[in-house]
Amino acid sequence: MTFRQSDGPAVSAAKAAISTATAYRFEQDHRVPSSREKGRGRRRPDPLADFFDAEVVPMLTAAPELRAVAIFDEMRRRHPELSAGARRTLERRIRAWRALHGADQEVIFRQVVPISRDLGCYPPPSPGWKIGALVQRHNGFQAVGFDVAIDPRIAAGLFG
């Protein structure tokens, strides 16, 4: 932020093409994000630490089709001290577990060829072209992605 030497953070951010919030954050700490200290992690104790591996994982292993809400209801029945706010935490934890240990997902590699308006090709020679002793005729240029074709009668006059 060499612009900061003469301008304020807002003007310097505009000149450097960064957000104003980034400029103010850079004012506080000049280090790059990779060299800064990591965040402080969890802000409250893990509500699922006591029973997730012991109770929830065996349930998921035995019946992988169980929904997270059903498992949460069962855990609330078994552990009355579990708060309702832990439902979303349990859903995230189950989704992460299923991603690593759940059933294999079908993998699809889509092969989509984008159609460009400026591309075209010549089809293989058809009657009208002379190749060796054979006489071939060509139907003309084919534009890829368009419904454009040269009438073979016209092409015969052009290439015949």
31-86 tens-digit pLDDT: 877 888 888 888 889 999 999 999 999 999 999 999 999 999 999 999 999 999 99
Expressed as residue numbers, the domain containing 58 is 52-101
Q: With 80 as the cut, is the pLDDT of residue 110 above it?
A: no
Q: With 80 as the cut, is the pLDDT of residue 121 above it?
A: no
Q: How confident is the model at residue 146 (pLDDT cuts 50, 70, 90)?
A: very low
Task: Provide mean pLDDT across the span 17-35.
Answer: 85
Task: Provide mean pLDDT across the span 75-98.
Answer: 95
Query: Which of 139, 135, 109 lies closest to 121, judged by CA?
Result: 139
Q: Give the pair of three-digit tokens for residue 96.
A: 């992460």
Q: Is residue 148 part of a domain?
A: yes
Q: With 80 as the cut, is the pLDDT of residue 127 above it?
A: no
Collapse the DSSP code of 80 into the 3-class scheme (helix H, G, I; strand E, B; otherwise coil) and give the result.
Answer: coil
Q: In this structure, are 29 and 63 located in the same domain?
A: no
Our count of domains for the chain comes to: 3
The CA-atom distances, in angstroms, between 120 and each of 56, 67, 146, 154, 159 are 58, 52, 9, 19, 18
Q: Is residue 42 part of a domain?
A: no
